[in-house]
A and B are shown apart, each in its own frame.
Chain A
Amino acid sequence: MEDTPHQPIAPKTLDELQSLVRENTAIHPTAAFEIPHSKFKIQNSRISLAAFNNIVEYQPEEYTITVEAGALVSDIQAILAEKNQYLPFDPPFAQNGATIGSMIANGYSGPGAYRYGILRDFILGVSFVDGLGDLIKTGGKVVKNAAGFDIPKLMVGSCGSLGVITEATFKIFPKSPATRSIVFKFSSFSESHAALLKLGRSHFTPDSIELNTGGHLFIRLTGQAASMDQRVQALESLLGERPETQSEADAFDSWDSSVNLRDFPATGILVKIATTPTGIASLNNAIAPHSANLRYSIGGFATWIHWDNDISDLSEILQTLNLSAQVVQGDTPSRIIGITHQQPFYQRVKQALDPEGKFSDPYRRTEPRQVRGHDRFSLPRQ
């Protein structure tokens, strides 16, 4: 019995998943790391973890939550919100039906990661099925743990190439009682960039910072309501510019738009670049001659770029700037472009966890291959 390549197989139990991995020679790519309803088609998946969508354990008083990989980010966010808590790494694409597994495998964080850190800073434990079909549980369920290798972090950004993630535990935080969103509208990118660096040299710790290429600097403050006016004033006197305060509705819409890249075109290539606040100036200059959409997120530490031209041109620019990036959407030679300095170390780890090379390698081009199901699983078809 043959499945067509575009029909994902959806194992119902861990056993079924493990057998699938054991019995197939190539699994491309692993797990349900797609973002189903997003306009961004993030590499087709051949195995769907739709059946693994439970909240395993949520202990608000512990600041931890354990969820199955197929759980929707939006569901998790809703459950946390009931207890006034949140995922501090501000996962993008939640409104488009992203699963938490896709967030881990792709390593995506949103602008709110500026304050406390990106996804890798909040992942405490991970269970996954490795290339041998073994179920591996690493990390822990408590907020602090130093036992064993930190494989949970390794899985972040692994693009599903080291195993099928089945479950993860996160550290979560209490939501601040109040937020305030402001926009500094400078007349040019270089002015807003100068303001970003000034902010970096200060003691200010906003929740979120984003820049667009047009000189707008978006800042979200979180904390106690009583402190907001004063903090905005302090920012105003630091940057020497009067910001616009957004209404609650505008602020919600504006951050929702940016975290989901709503104003980016749906087709073409979408890439996430690891950048630095100082470095985005040269990136901005290098990209300027090409017509591309850019958004500087996490205070300049992450840059989203929409690219309509040849991917090798972008890769070349990134190499010149000594930058490394990950392709979010688009048929590209490999998922990692720009400099690929981590590859030699990665290959050793890959060899250990997936010795037969069943999962695709983000540093190499892999042709989509087919996953064979098994009768006894009575796999659902789409």
Chain B
Amino acid sequence: MTSFIEKLRQIYPPERLYEDEARLIPYVSDGLTAFREKPAAVVMPLNSEEIVETLKLCHEHQVPFVARGSGTSLSGGSLPISEGIVISLNRLNSILEIDPDNRTARVQPGVINAHLSAAGAPHGLYFAPDPSSQSVCTIGGNLAFNSGGAHCLKYGMTSNHILGITAALPDGEVVQLGNDSLENAGPDCVGLFVGSEGLFGVALEIQLRLLPIPETYRTMLASYDSLEAAGDAVAAVVASGILPGAMEIMDKLAIEAAEAAVNAGYPQDAEALLIIELDGEASAVDAEFEALTASIEKTNAKEVRIAQDNDERLLIWKGRKSAFSAVGRLSPDYLVQDGVVPRSKLGEALKEISRLGAEAGLRVANVFHAGDGNLHPLILFDGNEAGALECAEELAGKILRYCLKLGGSITGEHGVGVEKLSFMPEMFSEADLNAFKRIRKAIDPHEISNRGKMLPGKEAPALSHSGPHPLEKAGIISRM
């Protein structure tokens, strides 16, 4: 390690190589503070060459590394490794090119999601994936975790908007995947790289697809007396053949929290709130809106409101996108889950979540992407109470297992990270996991790139969802 750090010092000046406690502590966690680990060092590269040099060095010394952007992962995806380094990509934040004729852009990994859309705006273009943290999360992080957002049913996830990647593999080899076309020739290697949770190295340059900013939006708020009624409304809209850009549901607790955070003007007396957004060419949206209104009229909505202008629309979304963090107002701690269920089983799943919550004696707030069945139960607990975290984790586990039972997934958009490692064997067979591991090994023989994420087994510490983690017992990691 000493000789490794020595060599690192030859790449980075002291102001871009952090080794002291005070500059390492802020990197111990990402958006999931239940897990903390202090890296041996943090480096801040300014260009691709420095990254490649760093990876070669890590490969040579078999030192694990975690490349990270803004550290907003909700699954511990950018949790550092105690005997490894963190490569902070925040200063590789240039938008290299916007090509309005082809509706594409080329960016560095540290570009903030919302900054890309802002840069596209003068050309009438935007980047469709819109995770709630879009004001701060980076494209590199979106790519690594195949981030979603509120508009996935219609527009897909990050993966559907990445066309090409120049990547440094974990041994420092630089490869080019995909190209600047929507089409490809040969296997879709870009598709494999996106969502690989940083296990395949570092994306140096990313070619993306931009979409034309819809000519018009129509955003509707409908409130209901129960979550079930809101869920039924979603089913009715889907059955009518309309394809809305987004369909989101929030329950009473989430409404209360979001309202306290941003005063979005949500109805306060509702048990459930449904946000539906149409987008597209004005005349097409007008016609769709009529069809939407007709199907919503048949539901038992308490109140239906339409955003009158763009400011109102943005405020509605600001409330929705602040909901996770806003729940911090209701409770000192919470766990957010990310399970997916078939849309038609939303009602069933929500009923079970509330039953499980009551059984565990914990409050659960629900915010979810109803259009694609992606649930986000937020389990509220007070970490200062003995056993509360374990109890919350146990409840989270039960919810995920129920999602699997309904034919869904353990994660829709947050990724496996460290948080859901123990659920991988429940979703995938041994043969499936072995295939994953063989691919991992072929690309990263020393398993140094974001070691310990996604793949359970030897390389990953056996994180369990109840009781202290073995590394915690050994005093290596701690939970806050």
Contacts and interface: CB of A to CB of B under 8 A. Distances in A.
A–B direct contact (CB < 8 Å) = yes
Interface of A: 59, 61-64, 84, 107, 109, 113, 116-118, 120-121, 130, 134-138, 140-159, 161-162, 173-177, 197, 200-205, 223-227, 230-231, 234, 272-279, 298, 301-302, 323-326, 335-336, 338, 340-342, 344-346, 348-349, 351-353, 355, 362-363
A144 B281 contact: no
A147 B407 contact: no
Interface stretch (B9-17, B187-195, B264-272, B314-322): B187-195
Contact of A344 (B148, B173, B183, B281): B173
A156 B188 contact: yes
Given A144-B340, A144-B369, A113 B182 contact: yes
A307 B59 CA distance: 46
Interface centre among A138, A156, A157, A342 (most CB of B within 10 A): A342
Contact of B160 (A117, A159, A202, A324): A117
9 contacts: A138-B435, A148-B416, A148-B427, A150-B196, A153-B159, A156-B188, A205-B212, A225-B287, A345-B169
A154 to B, nearest CB: 4
B146 to A, nearest CB: 5
B181 interface: yes
Contacts of A348: 169, 442-443
Contacts of A109: 183
Contacts of B451: none
A363 B409 CA distance: 35
Nearest to B408: A142
Interface string B428-439: 110110111011
B243 A148 contact: no
Given A59-B344, A276-B102, A338 B185 contact: yes
Given A140-B409, A201-B124, 11 more contacts: A113-B182, A136-B435, A147-B420, A202-B124, A205-B214, A205-B280, A231-B283, A274-B185, A298-B182, A349-B189, A352-B435
A109 B185 CA distance: 12
Nearest to A201: B100
Contacts of B287: 223-227
B447 to A, nearest CB: 13
A63 to B, nearest CB: 8
B101 A197 contact: yes
A174 B241 contact: yes
B436 A148 contact: yes
Nearest to A163: B435
Contacts of A150: 146, 159, 191-192, 194-196
A116 B410 CA distance: 26
A220 B55 CA distance: 48
A346 B189 contact: yes
A110 to B, nearest CB: 11
A353 B443 CA distance: 12
Interface string B131-174: 00000000000000110100011111101100000010100010
B196 A144 contact: no
Contacts of A202: 124, 212
Given A146-B195, A231-B284, A177 B241 contact: yes
Contact of B428 (A134, A148, A225): A148
B412 interface: yes
B22 interface: no
B412 A121 contact: no
Given A134-B435, A202-B212, A349 B443 contact: yes
B431 A134 contact: yes
B437 to A, nearest CB: 9
Contact of A145 (B187, B280, B340, B424): B340
B185 A161 contact: no
A325 B185 contact: yes
Contact of A144 (B189, B212, B413): B413
3 closest A-B pairs by beta carbon, nearest first, are: A153-B191, A224-B287, A352-B442
Contacts of B191: 120, 150, 152-154, 156
B280 A326 contact: no
Interface string B218-261: 00000000000000000100110111000000000000000000
Contacts of A84: 241
A348 B170 CA distance: 12
B428 A142 contact: no
A192 B159 CA distance: 31
Given A143-B153, A173-B243, A352-B439, A157 B182 contact: no
B217 to A, nearest CB: 12
A228 B335 CA distance: 48
A203 B123 contact: no
A84 B177 CA distance: 36
Interface string B369-387: 1001110000000000000
B441 interface: yes
Contacts of A351: 442
B189 A146 contact: no
Given A121-B160, A157-B188, A227 B183 contact: no
Contacts of A157: 184-188
Contact of B187 (A142, A154, A177, A344): A154
A64 B407 CA distance: 12
Contact of A146 (B146, B241, B441): B146
Given A151-B192, A153-B159, A230-B283, A301 B182 contact: yes
A349 B442 CA distance: 7
A197 B249 CA distance: 39
Nearest to B374: A144
Interface centre among B290, B409, B412, B443 (most CB of A within 10 A): B409
Contacts of B177: 341-342, 345
Contacts of A59: 342, 344
Interface centre among A135, A148, A352 (most CB of B within 10 A): A148
B24 interface: no
A344 B186 contact: no
Contacts of A140: 340, 408-409, 427
Nearest to B240: A174
Given A61-B343, A201-B124, A149 B184 contact: no
A8 to B, nearest CB: 23
B286 A149 contact: no
A142 B281 contact: no
Contacts of A353: 435, 438-439
A149 B192 contact: yes
Contact of A62 (B181, B214, B344): B344
B480 to A, nearest CB: 25
Contacts of B442: 348-349, 351-352
Contacts of B281: 203-205, 223, 227, 231, 234
Contacts of A342: 175-178, 186-187, 189
A179 B206 CA distance: 35
Contacts of B181: 274-276, 279, 301-302
A67 B151 CA distance: 26
Interface string B300-343: 00000000000000000000000000000000000000101111
